[in-house]
C-alpha cells in the first residue's frame, strides 16, 4: 500500500476507478489533513473534488447520485436498525435550532463547530474558524456514516430476502471509529460489496 496520504509527494491515481468515480487530476488545494484533492468524474456525468484518503480508503462510491437512487428505493415508513432511524439518515432538512445554514454546523463562541449524530450518539468533529471548512468536515462524515449505512442496509436486506431466517441470526451491528475529525464505520455481518 502506498504510504502517502497527502501532504508530501503525490501518488498518481489519474485514470483509476473507485466505484463510480474515476480520478482525473490533482488540484492545487489540500484537504484539512493535508491530503491531495482530486477532481473526479462520476459515471452519472457529474464532477466532484475528493480528498485522496476519502477516495482510496473511504466509503465514497459516487458523487452522491448513488445515495439519491437508494433514497428512492428505501421504504417511506420509519425504520430503526440498531438504533439508527433510516428516516433521520435520509433527511437532508436543516433543524430549526441551526443558525449557520449548514446541517450539523453550529456557531459556538466565535467558532464553527461540526457535529454529527449517528445511532443516537453525537460525534464532535472539531471547531473551525472557517464555516466552509466545518461544513466540509461535516459533509464528509455524513457521506461516510449515512451513505455507508444506507448502502450496507440495502445489501443486508437483499441477503435477508433471499435466505429464510438469515436476518434473525444476523442482526446488523455497527461500529463507528473516530480519529480526530475523521470518522469511519464498520458493519457486521460482513457482506460482499455490490
Residue 46 as a binder of Zn ion (CB under 5 A): the answer is: yes
Our CB check for Zn ion shows the closer of 60 and 63 to be: 63
Residue 63 or 145 with smaller CB distance to Zn ion: 63
The site that binds Zn ion (CB under 5 A) totals a number of residues, namely 6
Q: Does 40 bind Zn ion (CB under 5 A)?
A: no
Q: Which of residues 56-85 bind Zn ion (CB under 5 A)?
A: 62-63, 65
| 36 within 8 A of 51, measured Cβ to Cβ | yes
Question: What track of x and - describes contact with Zn ion for positions 122 through 151 (by CB under 5 A)?
Answer: ------------------------------
Closest CB to Zn ion among residues 62, 84: 62
Q: How far apart are CA 128 and CA 180, in angstroms?
A: 13
Which of 68, 173 has the CB closer to Zn ion? 68
- Residue of 27, 44, 117, 158 that binds Zn ion (CB under 5 A): 44
The DSSP code for 145 is I
- Chain centre to alpha carbon of residue 13: 21
Of 42, 51, 144, 145, the one binding Zn ion (CB under 5 A) is: 42
173 neighbors 188 (Cβ within 8 angstroms): yes
Q: Kindly indicate which of the ranges 55-63, 90-98, 160-168, 179-187 contains the residues binding Zn ion, using the contact rule CB under 5 A.
A: 55-63
Q: CA 71, CA 90: separation in Å to the nearest integer?
A: 7
Task: Show the cell assigned to 24.
Answer: 482525473
Of 25, 74, 69, the closest CA to residue 47 belongs to 25
Residue 101's Cβ-count burial label (10 Å; 0-12, 13-18, 19+) is exposed
Q: What phi and psi, each to the nearest 5 degrees, are found at residue 183?
A: -120, 150
The reply to whether 24 sits near Zn ion by the rule CB under 5 A is: no
Interface with Zn ion by CB under 5 A: which residues? 42, 44, 46, 62-63, 65
Amino acid at each position: 500500500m502506498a504510504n502517502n496520504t497527502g501532504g508530501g509527494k503525490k501518488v498518481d491515481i489519474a485514470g483509476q476507478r473507485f466505484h463510480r468515480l474515476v480520478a482525473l487530476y490533482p488540484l492545487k488545494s489540500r484537504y484539512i489533513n493535508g491530503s491531495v484533492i482530486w477532481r473526479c468524474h462520476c459515471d452519472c456525468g457529474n464532477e466532484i473534488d475528493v480528498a485522496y484518503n476519502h477516495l482510496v480508503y473511504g466509503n465514497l462510491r459516487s458523487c452522491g447520485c448513488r445515495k439519491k437512487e437508494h433514497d428512492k428505493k428505501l421504504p417511506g415508513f420509519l425504520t430503526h436498525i440498531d438504533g439508527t432511524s433510516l428516516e433521520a439518515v435520509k433527511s437532508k432538512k436543516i433543524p430549526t435550532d441551526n443558525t449557520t445554514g449548514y446541517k450539523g454546523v453550529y456557531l459556538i463562541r466565535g467558532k464553527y463547530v461540526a457535529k454529527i449524530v449517528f445511532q443516537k450518539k453525537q460525534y464532535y468533529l472539531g471547531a473551525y474558524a472557517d464555516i466552509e471548512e466545518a461544513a466540509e468536515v461535516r459533509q464528509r462524515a455524513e457521506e461516510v456514516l449515512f451513505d455507508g449505512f444506507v448502502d450496507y442496509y440495502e445489501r443486508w436486506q437483499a441477503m435477508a430476502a433471499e435466505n429464510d431466517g438469515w436476518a434473525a441470526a444476523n442482526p446488523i451491528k455497527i461500529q463507528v471509529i473516530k480519529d480526530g475529525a475523521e470518522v469511519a464505520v464498520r458493519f457486521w455481518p460482513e457482506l460482499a460489496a455490490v
